[in-house]
Structure 1
């Protein structure tokens, strides 16, 4: 019922081996052992002599029971080897098992140990040493059941980790380690019992040594330490499973960046649970260490008192560390930021990538990693909460039709709101706020929209692109930056005179015959240009001196 495959049985043996072969072998063993031993004991109770009883028992085990065990071990050694050593390899195309040499070693050891155990049993039975005979009989049973129990434990563990409660990404990564630790513990217990049985059969009397005061103390301490460590391991695995079921997959934590700080925001529980898990791990380790020390006979009271004094001294010497930890606690209690949010703290911007006990790690949208201790944070500017309003500016010429621009922006905002890709990310449509200010060469018209946190960058790009195209289609150009220089009246008068003089020279040159045009006219033009430049320089000097005098008076 326990071993036979489903649906006729529970099918507790792993599917990696031939369940029916295991069932048939164990059924044959049970039938031969029960029927054979019961028949011999019945004959013995009816007057069969001791010599004939031992001879019949030797024949039963040597020619029937032990061969059944050896046949099972050797015929199923490849399947058992895969389970014992967590191997996923199977026979190749040529029918060879990759670990065939290993699959020859352990069956040979099992065969030798069972044979030697039964031989010792026969010797002690013939000598009449009943106590040693029982000890070697126990060793024979442990050796016989070792692969079966190990196989059963492995199969049960595989079925256990296949339950829905264990289906978390984190546990799948450490599943093999969990199975290895439990199986190693079971194997150590079986090997310890086997060693004790053989030592007892060989006359070393380990049970008597353990029953003494010192032996019982060592055994009790060892068992307490083992139970404490095992219990701590089980509690930690339960805590991790509980938290992993509340947290998303680790692969989803590294949200895709769009180049300007947009990323997926974690919930408050996803932000606090990793820190809570770290604190629980520290507390659990302290409890396990204290329990182990207590089991070893160490008085933990003075240790706690000394640790408190040392803790006070360390606290005075590391006030900055304590400040960072306490500040971080209050920031997290206030829910000032969460994992995945885009924040500005201590003069730095970035996405919150990791939160530790004393610091936070920011990932700048250009890729740089910044670590900020909580104690350095005075204010937090969170750009990823609830909604974000972004204001955009346009530089348009003075003569633009402002009402026309307003209608164009409003129309674009409505289209963006109806867009199936952009619309769900917008909370309020794009709209114009009119002229915000007047600059030297342009009117500054502002428009704004409200979007979901992290999506404002995409909406902004689309808004700029569509507004530019719509204004270009309406014949409205953007204003360019330019500088206009206004001269004084004297400078404008000199420029006019210079211009008139150049026109006069040009007309005179055109009126003269070609042979009269030449060096004299060029010399006159050069002289006139020099005179004009000197006059302009004099005027500029006087203007600069006048302005400097005014500035000096203003400073006084």
Structure 2
């Protein structure tokens, strides 16, 4: 029984493939036959124009003249409207669009008043629209500011310009009712094929530049960089698939949704380039002074563009399915619009918080050996935790609001989560202790990013602060992660100032007063050093004899410096003490060694 069922399914699939292959074979035969008869169709088209009272040569010159006028007018209007907007690409694009509308409306008014023939007027208006649109797209691409992407942009402009020229001829053929084989010939060999070949060649020729542009701001090895590396080949596959499905539509002669697929593929082709252009502009704006709000708006605009592309794809593919299953389109569109508005508001808040966080993000240590560190402010220490809580709150509120919009009762969910959270709190008292202790440490401002601290279990520079622990990097490199609840006593070596005391051992008969004067001179020289003066609070000076040990004098010196900055000063003082004492015939003596004696 199962074998018979599989046999029937195989026969049905084979029959379907056979019918499809017959459709392809018959369609190709009909198209080739039409192409072979295109010469006769062209003569019939010319005769039809003459029979309608047109002179083909004069008509061609009129079409060419109106196209050149539309191109010149659009180029002039676009350049004048974008004269001061070269540094603002999106405003420049909007200005070009406005120039196109202005030119089309102007020519439409002129054609209404000067051309009484409605057929000729419609044909000329089509020529104006296509010429103006081609100029708006190709002129900024080909004539934009010079960069490493100029050649790639020019190649794309050539492809789009030739395709628009073919569309212009095709539009004229359609207006004057040319035969289907003639229009098929122009659509295939004057529009689809040149556009596909030229765009694919542009991507393959400049694939390294395209990869570099699309990997902007991504880390090495990231998913985005990997996709950018293969995107030129994906783009070639996309335009090739678009050409294949258009030809399949024309060959079968039945609606196979090839047009929808073409629009979908072109949107997929344009989406990464639009996204990277918006991201680059938003990154530049966010880096400028006071650009947090504008940067957040640009990042939100990325989501608007992505949502618009997804909305177009949904309208093309999902709305017909909704009609089949009996779901009202209006309800779905209204709910989707409400959810989209909420997502945009949350995205704006999220992006604004992210930009502000990037401004206050703590920097890494200035000295890789740990001698000096860039100390963060209190805001850089507490800020990341507050940002994490803010983003979590945004996600939670957004998810609950979406559920409410969809008509789902969220109160049982909130109650269940509350009980679950209480159970976790009772069962994880150590975790609660760590979180609460960390909260009080941060409120007390006990330590900050970049400060050198010592706890009961470890010491090092504060490198990371999370909700329940702090990570300390030892000067030798190891990182210790300590829960807040186990820190206990904290010694902070990086606050405000530090007194550094230094011991020097000299011979017993050394003139202590002479050493004091030399130390004072050394302190004045160090204080006069512009590289060290800013970090020195009190100059180096002698504190006299600290001890008498084994026939030697131990003389102590001290200085006061900014915390964390005393090490460079210490190096300079030690170097000067050694050379100065040697120049004044004062020798530093080693510490006496105690050798244990054997025997009794």
Shorter-chain TM range is 0.5 to 0.7
Distance 2:565 2:461 in 1: 14
5 Å-filtered alignment, 1:305-316, equals: 305-316=415-426
Does residue 1:425 correspond to 2:539, yes or no?
A: no
Judge which range, 447-456 or 362-371, deviates more: 362-371
Gaps of 5+ in 1: 44-55, 120-138, 488-539, 545-556
Q: 1:81 to 1:231 in 2, by over 3 A?
A: farther
Distance 1:254 1:324 in 2: 25
Distance 2:567 2:90 in 1: 54
Partner of 2:303: 181
Distance 1:314 1:391 in 2: 51
Does residue 1:321 correspond to 2:431, yes or no?
A: yes
5 Å-filtered alignment, 1:121-136, equals: none
2:378 to 268, 293, 302: 268
Q: Deviations over 1:275-313 (max 9, x none)?
A: 211111111111111112222332210111110111111
Number of aligned positions between the proteins: 430
Partner of 1:238: 352
| Residue 362 of structure 1: how far off its partner (Å) | 2.3
Distance 1:331 1:349 in 2: 16
Gaps of 5+ in 2: 1-73, 178-259
Give the SS at the match of 1:357.
Answer: coil
Distance 2:305 2:139 in 1: 17
Give the SS at the match of 2:537.
Answer: strand
Does residue 1:221 correspond to 2:335, yes or no?
A: yes
Partner of 1:68: 128
5 Å-filtered alignment, 1:448-463, equals: 448-463=558-573
5 Å-filtered alignment, 1:357-436, equals: 357-436=467-546
CA contact (8 A) 1:89 1:98 kept: no
| Residue 374 of structure 1: how far off its partner (Å) | 1.8
| Residue 270 of structure 1: how far off its partner (Å) | 2.3
Partner of 2:151: 91
5 Å-filtered alignment, 1:342-361, equals: 342-361=452-471
Distance 2:316 2:91 in 1: 27
Does residue 1:30 correspond to 2:88, yes or no?
A: no
| Residue 460 of structure 1: how far off its partner (Å) | 1.0
Does residue 1:465 correspond to 2:569, yes or no?
A: no
Does residue 1:340 correspond to 2:450, yes or no?
A: yes
Give the SS at the match of 1:385.
Answer: coil
Distance 1:404 1:74 in 2: 89
Distance 1:193 1:36 in 2: 35
CA contact (8 A) 1:413 1:431 kept: yes
Judge which range, 4-13 or 439-448, deviates more: 4-13
Distance 2:493 2:331 in 1: 63
Q: 1:316 to 1:58 in 2, by over 3 A?
A: farther
| Residue 333 of structure 1: how far off its partner (Å) | 0.9
Distance 1:370 1:322 in 2: 21
2:440 to 314, 327, 330: 330
| Residue 181 of structure 1: how far off its partner (Å) | 2.6
Q: 1:88 to 1:328 in 2, by over 3 A?
A: farther
Higher-Rg structure is: 1
Distance 2:83 2:333 in 1: 40
2:288 to 151, 163, 167: 167
Q: 1:103 to 1:161 in 2, by over 3 A?
A: farther
Q: Deviations over 1:290-341 (max 9, x none)?
A: 1122223322101111101111111123222222221111111111111122
Q: 1:117 to 1:443 in 2, by over 3 A?
A: farther
**What is the RMSD computed on CA atoms of the aligned residues?**
5.1
